Amino acid sequence: MKNLIILLGLISCFSIHAQDFAKDSTETRWNMFKYDVGNMFKGVGYSYTKPLHWQGKQWCHFGAMVGVTGLIYLADDNTSKFIRNNKEGVPQVIRDYGEIHGSPANNYIATSGVYAVGLITKNEKLRRTGVLLISSATSAGLLQQVLKSVVGRARPLAELGKDTFDPFNSSRNVHSFPSGHALLAFTNAYAIGKQFKNS
């Protein structure tokens, strides 16, 4: 029930703030859907081939991201212990929020809902946002699943330390990096920010 309320709230916010409303489109919804599904697949492919065309600036950003991740990694045991030791001081609703609403299943329900409202109302802006949300989540999700298996980093709850790696182990205890919840949060924020202007 909570997910339905959040989904309806998101959809109503998107409907209120969407620009380029194209309700009078003569194109059929079926043709729009076929076109959009094709764009979803193209978007996933584009995301994987884009690094082949990176220039100096993009490689500098990538290098900076790797460097910052390395610095954060140095303090990972301390931050992990601090967060786990102070867990009980955080209200349960906040602790549950990321787990519940950041799960891939709930993410796809919300993003598909955005797309469905755009398709039903023939709102091009919502359709494009839905396509971008779905394709970016799919692209990031596939990459994340492969990397989790290849990296094989132990989860903090396994209490094996930050330097424990066991690549290609099927146990969830060694599938902590990269975080799927964090990837979905960033891809959703980027997709929504790209489609809607600040007002």
Tens of pLDDT, residue by residue over 15-60, are: 444 444 444 457 888 999 999 999 999 999 999 999 999 999 999 9
Identify whether 108 is part of a domain. Answer: yes
CA 152 – CA 141 distance, rounded (Å): 16
Q: How many domains does the chain have?
A: 1
Choose between 21 and 145: higher pLDDT: 145
Distances in Å between the Cα of 175 and the Cα atoms of 107, 134, 155 are 20, 23, 7
- Say whether pLDDT at 91 is over 60: yes
Residue at 180 is within a domain: yes
Structure confidence at residue 22 (pLDDT)? 44
% of the chain exceeding 90 in pLDDT: 34
pLDDT at 14: 47
For residue 173, what are the domain limits? 2-14+28-48+58-195
Asked whether residue 68 carries a pLDDT value surpassing 90, the answer given is yes
CA distance 67 to 134: 29
Are the beta carbons of 161 and 154 closer than 8 angstroms?
yes
**How far is C-alpha 12 from the geometric centre of its chain's CA atoms?**
21
Any domain includes 166:
yes
Nearest 5 degrees, angle CA 151-CA 184-CA 6? 150
Cβ neighbours of 52 (radius 10 Å): 6
Residue with tokens 């492969």: 146
Answer whether residue 115 shows pLDDT above 70.
Answer: yes
d(CA 61, CA 54): 10
Tell me if 22 is assigned to some domain: no
Could you tell me if residue 19 is inside a domain? no
Residue 179 tokens read as: 């975080």
